[in-house]
């Protein structure tokens, strides 16, 4: 139950320790697939806590990044609370404030856990897509034909504005990563490259991260005007060469289930679906 005098308030820097304690309750926590730590958003708009006499018992963060897209980056609650009561207290406050400040905002989430998907559906969210996970054992890689007109090189920090431009053109306003997010991604990558055309314009890029399970192709984008020319194949082939030279034998990737072009590319070169999938939900305001 929620105490009668519990209040919803904006999260502040001094809440770091208490929110960190909540995150220990992993089964009661949703976290977004994000380049930034949850704590990087402290002090931002659209980050609230449920405060019971100075004890933070729940938190909800959905800052707009990119503009007009408020991804739910965190929802967590203490086990002594009822899930629906904790969510309702925060969500009622959140939706009122979000849409008052920006009527054009979309509140969105990638539901990694069934209980979170269920509570979102009960709150008026609608599933719009699914992300699917594919995996490649590098020994099963089937090299595609490569264009002689595309050059792959390591990404530099000075490339990031151009990379962000390619990302926006490739993914659009809903899915794109703004420049600040690209900077976070670049800093965390183990291997980042760009594809250039014969006039040395950046037409595509990839960012990959590493873990104990292998590598993850976190972002692959090609500008629409350059698609179909082999840039994506060249970027992935170069990435596989890097992984092989560093004795990394597995690579995973996520993509939208309805992205036929990406799925065709990945499966053609040896990726296989793992069976994992995550729904993408958007709040339906009834407009």
Nearest to 108 by CA among 83, 85, 125, 129: 125
End-of-domain residue from the set 96, 123, 150:
123
How far, in Å, CA of 110 to CA of 90, rounded? 18
CA 257 – CA 279 distance, rounded (Å): 10
Asked if pLDDT for residue 284 goes beyond 80, the answer is no
Q: Indicate if 211 and 156 belong to the same structural domain.
A: yes
Tell me the DSSP string of 46-58.
SEEEEEETTEEEE
**Chain centre distance of CA 110:** 8
For residue range 32-57, what is the model confidence (pLDDT) as tens digits?
Answer: 988 899 999 998 889 999 999 999 99
Same domain, 254 and 143: yes
Does a structural domain hold residue 281?
no
Residue by residue, DSSP assigns 151-187 as EEEE--GGGHHHHHHHHHHHHHHHHPPPHHHHHHHHH
- Asked whether residue 219 is assigned to any structural domain, the reply reads yes
Specify the pTM: 0.92
> For residue 53, what pLDDT is reported?
92
Give the per-residue pLDDT at 213.
86
207 and 261 assigned to the same domain: yes
Claim to verify: residue 112 and residue 221 sit in the same structural domain: no
In a domain, 117, yes or no: yes
Residue 49 belongs to a domain with what CATH number? 3.40.630.30
The pLDDT score that the predictor gives to residue 273 is: 96
Claim to verify: residue 268 and residue 136 sit in the same structural domain = yes
pLDDT-above-90 percentage for the chain: 91
Q: Rounded to an integer, what distance in angstroms lies between the CA atom of residue 188 and that of residue 91?
A: 32
Residue 2 pLDDT grade (very low, low, confident, very high; cuts 50, 70, 90): low
* Other C-beta atoms lying within 10 Å of the C-beta of residue 173: 11
199 and 102 within one domain: no
Q: Does 96 share its domain with 185?
A: no
Provide the domain limits for residue 142.
132-276
Please, which residues have CB within 8 angstroms of residue 84's CB and are 6 or more apart in sequence? Answer: 119, 122
Which residue among 60, 93, 123 closes a domain? 123
Confidence of residue 6 (pLDDT cuts 50, 70, 90): confident
Choose one of 123, 140, 155: the last residue of a domain. Answer: 123
pLDDT at residue 4 above 70?
A: no
| Cα pseudo-dihedral 168, 171, 173, 176, rounded to 10 | -70
Where residue 8 falls among pLDDT bands split at 50, 70, 90? Answer: very high
Evaluate whether residue 282 is within a structural domain: no
User: Where does the pLDDT of residue 99 fall: very low under 50, low under 70, confident under 90, or very high at 90 and above?
Assistant: very high
Q: How far is CA 159 from CA 93, 166, 226, 236, in A?
A: 40, 11, 18, 19
Residues 179 and 85 in one domain: no
Q: Are residues 94 and 66 in the same domain?
A: yes
Q: Is the domain of 160 the same as that of 38?
A: no
Note whether residue 207 is domain-resident. Answer: yes
Q: Is residue 287 part of a domain?
A: no
Number of domains forming the structure of the chain: 2
Same domain, 18 and 89: yes
| Domain shared by 213 and 150, yes or no | yes
Asked if the model's pLDDT at residue 1 lies above 60, the reply is no
Please say whether the beta carbons of 255 and 221 come within 8 A.
no
The whole-angstrom separation of Cα 147 and Cα 150 is 6
């Amino acid at each position: 139950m929620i105490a009668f005098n519990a209040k919803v308030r904006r999260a502040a820097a001094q809440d770091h320790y208490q929110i960190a304690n909540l995150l220990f309750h992993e089964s009661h926590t949703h976290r977004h697939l994000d380049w930034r730590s949850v704590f990087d958003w402290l002090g931002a708009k659209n980050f609230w806590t449920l405060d019971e006499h100075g004890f933070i018992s729940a938190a909800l963060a959905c800052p707009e990044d990119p503009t007009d897209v408020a991804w739910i980056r965190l929802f967590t609650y203490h086990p002594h609370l009822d899930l629906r009561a904790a969510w309702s207290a925060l969500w009622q406050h959140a939706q009122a404030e979000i849409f008052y400040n920006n009527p054009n905002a979309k509140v969105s989430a990638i539901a990694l856990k069934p209980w979170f998907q269920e509570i979102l559906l009960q709150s008026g969210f609608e599933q719009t897509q699914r992300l699917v996970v594919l995996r490649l054992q590098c020994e099963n890689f089937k090299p595609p034909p490569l264009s002689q007109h595309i050059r792959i090189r390591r990404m530099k920090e000075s490339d990031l504005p151009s990379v962000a431009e390619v990302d926006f053109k490739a993914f659009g306003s809903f899915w794109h990563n703004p420049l600040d997010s690209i900077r976070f991604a670049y800093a965390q990558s183990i291997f980042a490259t760009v594809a250039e055309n014969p006039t040395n314009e950046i037409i595509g890029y990839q960012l990959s991260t590493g873990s104990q399970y292998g590598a993850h192709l976190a972002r692959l984008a090609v500008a629409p005007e350059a698609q179909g020319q082999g840039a994506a194949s060249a970027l992935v082939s170069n990435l596989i060469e890097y992984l092989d030279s560093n004795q990394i034998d597995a690579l995973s990737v996520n993509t939208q289930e309805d992205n036929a072009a990406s799925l065709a590319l990945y499966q053609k070169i040896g990726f296989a679906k793992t069976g994992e999938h995550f729904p993408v939900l958007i709040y339906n305001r009834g407009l």
